[in-house]
């Protein structure tokens, strides 16, 4: 019979997690001086590098729906969100600290699967879990991750340094995950459908972000975890700039077009709106677009589309329609409290 946490207790759970990490988490890096098992972990930062730190939480019912997402995919999604943030600044992940809030009826095997999801994302980077915490909760299960990464000194790409005249690039096909979630809500597709998979098993672009940062020619970069328009809005706000977008240049995937017709929605709603795609928005000087495209291609597959340019109109984003008319867009994306 499957064991629940109320059957094994906190310390046996922790031991099982430690054993799983030793068995499946790879060899600890040489610069890790104190790992799991002490009051805190310790490592020696690499000379000539800056430390990047990010944190993100995933709450049952808010960030994932258990009826659609298996425990392993829950862990994977939570770690992808954090790795994506490190990658959006041009860095690579190194160490993760994980806190879990669990119900007493949570199955021990499900917790182990969540950790396997973490490792599925971390292992390709040689990154590892170095600590964390577990606690009981009477409400929804939650995962809180603090991820430590690194980037070569002076190579971090920020969201606050876009310049008027810069081209706006985006990787992949934003909006597919949002469409997949709506199709799942309405029971219109199985979980194996590619759009549903885009929601359940999102992919990060961290390796592409590091490749772009290494060129030294990206003026700003951000991931699309809040949706294309919301995150472009963050760039505009922090850079004191605006943007001009061209509808005819938007990379709308064929399956997204079909889903929009099925859902009786405009595909632009999915492309521009809140979505769990974790693509990259990159700005650069116009004469560096080809160089940025090549940098992305070295790291991952998929298109890099030039969809607009940065303007001097602070906080203003305009959409240029196919007939040349213009439409003002409201800068909004995912909002936890709306």
Let me know: does 118 contact 59? Beta carbons within 8 Å: no
Given this model, what pLDDT does residue 334 score?
A: 46
- Of the listed ranges 39-43, 59-63, 279-283, 305-309, the least confidently predicted one is 59-63
Global pTM reads 0.94
Please, is 284 exposed, middle or buried when counting C-beta atoms within 10 Å of its C-beta (0-12, 13-18, 19+)?
buried
**Alpha carbon separation from 133 to 58, 207, 320 (Å, rounded):** 15, 29, 49
Q: Where are the alpha helices (DSSP H) in the chain?
A: 5-24, 71-88, 108-122, 176-185, 194-200, 206-215, 228-239, 254-263, 267-272, 289-299
pLDDT higher than threshold 60 for residue 246: yes
- Of the listed ranges 136-140, 171-175, 257-261, the least confidently predicted one is 136-140
Among 104, 26, 14, 96, smallest CA distance to 54 is for 96
The token pair that represents 74 in the structure block: 């829950």
**How would residue 139 be classed by pLDDT, with cut points 50, 70 and 90?**
confident
Average pLDDT, the chain: 94
pLDDT higher than threshold 80 for residue 86: yes
Torsion of the alpha carbons at 190, 192, 194 and 196, rounded to the nearest 10: 60
**How would residue 28 be classed by pLDDT, with cut points 50, 70 and 90?**
confident
**How would residue 332 be classed by pLDDT, with cut points 50, 70 and 90?**
low
**How would residue 330 be classed by pLDDT, with cut points 50, 70 and 90?**
confident
Domains and CATH numbers, the chain: 5-152 (3.30.1330.10), 167-329 (3.90.650.10)
Let me know: does 141 contact 101? Beta carbons within 8 Å: yes
- Of the listed ranges 3-12, 119-128, 290-299, the least confidently predicted one is 3-12
Which tens digits make up the pLDDT trace of 151-186? 999 999 999 999 999 999 999 999 999 999 999 999
Please provide residue 162's backbone torsions phi and psi, each rounded to the nearest 5 degrees.
-70, 150
The Cα–Cα gap between 94 and 98 comes to 13
pLDDT higher than threshold 50 for residue 337: no
């Amino acid at each position: 019979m499957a064991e629940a946490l109320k059957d094994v207790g906190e310390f046996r759970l922790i031991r099982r997690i430690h054993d799983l990490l030793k068995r499946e988490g790879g060899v600890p890096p040489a610069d890790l001086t104190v790992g799991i098992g002490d009051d805190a972990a310790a490592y020696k930062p690499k000379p000539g590098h800056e430390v990047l730190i990010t944190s993100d939480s995933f709450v049952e019912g808010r960030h994932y729906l258990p009826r659609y997402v298996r425990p392993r995919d829950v862990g994977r999604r939570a770690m992808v969100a954090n790795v994506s943030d490190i990658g959006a600044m041009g860095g690579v992940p190194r160490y993760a600290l994980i806190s879990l809030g669990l119900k007493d009826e949570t199955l021990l095997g499900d917790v182990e699967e969540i950790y396997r999801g973490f490792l599925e994302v971390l292992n390709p980077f040689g990154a590892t879990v170095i600590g964390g915490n577990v606690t009981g909760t009477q409400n929804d299960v939650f995962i809180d991750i603090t991820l430590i990464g690194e980037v070569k000194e002076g190579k971090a790409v920020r969201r606050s340094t876009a310049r008027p005249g810069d081209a706006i690039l985006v990787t992949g096909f934003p909006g597919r995950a949002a469409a997949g979630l709506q199709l799942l809500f309405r029971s219109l597709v199985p979980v194996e459908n590619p759009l549903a998979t885009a929601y359940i098993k999102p992919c990060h672009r961290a390796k592409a972000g590091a490749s772009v940062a290494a060129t030294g020619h990206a003026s700003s970069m951000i991931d699309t975890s809040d949706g294309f328009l919301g995150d472009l809005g963050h760039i505009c706000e922090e850079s004191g700039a605006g943007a001009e977008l061209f509808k005819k240049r938007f990379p709308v995937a064929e399956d997204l077009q079909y889903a929009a017709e099925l859902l009786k929605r405009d595909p632009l709603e999915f492309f521009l709106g809140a979505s769990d795609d974790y693509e990259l928005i990159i700005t650069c000087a116009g004469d560096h677009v080809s160089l940025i495209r090549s940098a992305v291609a070295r790291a991952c597959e998929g298109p890099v589309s030039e969809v607009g340019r940065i303007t001097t109109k602070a906080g203003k984003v305009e959409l240029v329609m196919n007939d040349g008319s213009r439409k003002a867009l409201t800068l909004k994306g995912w909002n936890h409290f709306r």
